[in-house]
Amino acid sequence: MDTHFHFLFALIFLALATPIAFANDPSPLQDTCVAVNDSKYGVFVNGKFCKNPKLATADDFFFAGLDIYGNTSNRLGLAVNPVTVDQLPGLNTLGLSMSRLDFAPYGLNPPHIHPRGTEIITVLEGTLYVGFVTSNPDNRLITKVLNKGDVFVFPIGLIHFKYNKWKTNAVAIAFLNSQSAGVITIANAVFGSKPSISDDVLAKAFQLDKKVVDYLQAQSWGDN
């Protein structure tokens, strides 16, 4: 009887703990919670006010444009067309988002993290070299060359990148398990913060001369 009790208790604990341990965005408790910016609609969920579900329309759950090639004429050779809750209000509380990534030849999606989501991508055109770095103390670099139809996943919170090191364009679709996963581009955050991080701190952290740090901080990181 005692063994049965402990087994039952363990099952109940796992049943209760699993959603907390593995869920990312909170689970919805109603069919829809279309995001709106007007407080008169009342309920505030996940940083957005909810439209009355009875007033929701098909357009609240619709987005067009992922078939359009992005403008990659920038220094990174990258265009990102996001579909988060800001572009598709019907995503609110559903824990999903996506984006289209266009790469010019030698285009780069620089090292970055998504603080609130795991990312999975599939290549639609071309070839990409992708990878992520595991956390301390190992800091293992895990990389793969992806061709059309290949899929790769970047675990939540880990630094990762995507690079088109070939002479042809590349296109990928990314999915994230958050309606607004956020993005922190490492170079922007470290050298382009406002106000700037002390060059004493960065010089010691990166083992660089202060003049090198000052030079890096003087660059334009806003469009990186």
pTM for the full model? 0.81
What span, in angstroms and rounded, lies between the C-alpha atoms of 72 and 74?
Answer: 6
Cα–Cα dist 168/49, whole Å: 43
Domains defined for the chain, CATH in brackets: 70-179 (2.60.120.10), 188-217 (no CATH)
Single-letter residue type at 164 = N
CA pair distance 164, 109, nearest whole angstrom: 9
CA distance 182 to 47: 13
> pLDDT (tens digit, 0 to 9) for every residue of the chain, 224 residues total?
555 545 444 444 444 444 444 446 766 656 677 787 766 655 555 567 888 888 899 999 999 999 999 999 999 999 999 999 999 999 988 899 999 999 999 999 999 999 999 999 999 999 999 999 999 999 999 999 999 999 999 999 999 999 999 999 999 999 999 988 999 999 999 999 999 999 999 999 999 999 999 999 998 886 65
Tokens 């003087």 sit at which residue?
218
Phi (first) and psi of residue 11, to 5 degrees: -65, -45
